[in-house]
Amino acid sequence: MKQNSLRVVITGASSGIGAATAVAFARQGAYLVLGARGREGLEDIATRCREAGGQAEIGIVDVTDAGAVATFAAAARAALGGIDLWFSDVGIGVVGKYLDVPMADHRQVVETNLVSHMNEAHAVLPVFVHQGHGIWVNMISLGGYITSPYAAAYSASKFGLRGFSAALRGEMHDHPDIHICDVYPTFVDTPAIFHAGNYTGARLTYPPGALAPETVANAVVKLARQPRATTVIGMPETMLKLGQFAAPLTNLLMKRFMDRWSRRAEPARDTVGTMYTPAPDASGIHGGQRRHGGQRNTALAVGAAVVGVALAARLLSRRG
């Protein structure tokens, strides 16, 4: 192993943002251990990492199983000789009105998006404490600040994940070289949309202006050099936080939008996606729905709308 080469572990590495981040680190000569449930997807990305100039090993792991995560972390530590950065990227979603989605699916979303990240932190933080350094990068998303009707469990898991990170940051205060870093992208064009559970009766699509996975990957790679608590990608951080003031109104507007969209979109059958089993084949990095050239304009439009709604909500509250 080359001196000063980063030792990186990525979960959810078989597709999407995790896969793009693995390749981005590999281009810098990193040594990687990649984890996910699906062997085909992991082997595909590991091959891409080696072709990009990195070293990569894979580990099949269901991160909702705390014991399996502990075993995976121990194997990664042994393979790498230590862990400099751990990227906790596993996430799933189910789209549909809360009462239309089975409780088992809601539970699976919370287990995957929140409890699995807790399992990973519980496994790797002792390694960081022993080393005296380490960076835990926690993939959250826009959903950690702005709730989304038709995705109640997803919203619950992401809000919980943001609180979990904040608590860990407080506990790690006496370890100045251990960093807890949260990443909040807006919509990203990955295969995740094809993996989601869907009870809307309509085919899921990304809105215009979805980010490229590589944009998020580059932001994560930057955290290895310059760790920071909060990284927002796709819109200004201040606008994202202002959206919290406008939650009642934005929820109503989003609910009406989703109602209208589900009636007009191309029909689709209900599906659980890959919530319970991995994709049968390699999924790759991209979702194939990104429209080039619209990202900046869409981000600015979303940001302006958030600010406008926030200000309106504040004025209404004062009048009341």
Buried b (16+ CB within 10 A) or exposed e, 176-210: eebbbbbbbbbbbbbbbbbbbbbbbebebebeebb
Identify each DSSP E strand in 12-159 by its residue range: 31-36, 55-60, 85-88, 94-95, 134-139
Count CB neighbours of 315 within 10 A.
10
Catalytically active residues are 154
Instruction: Say how many Å lie between the first and final Cα of the chain, rounded.
Output: 64
* Whole-angstrom distance, CA of residue 80 vs CA of residue 72: 12
Q: Which two tokens stand for residue 201?
A: 């009766």
* Whole-angstrom distance, CA of residue 17 vs CA of residue 31: 18
SS3 197: strand
* Whole-angstrom distance, CA of residue 45 vs CA of residue 51: 10
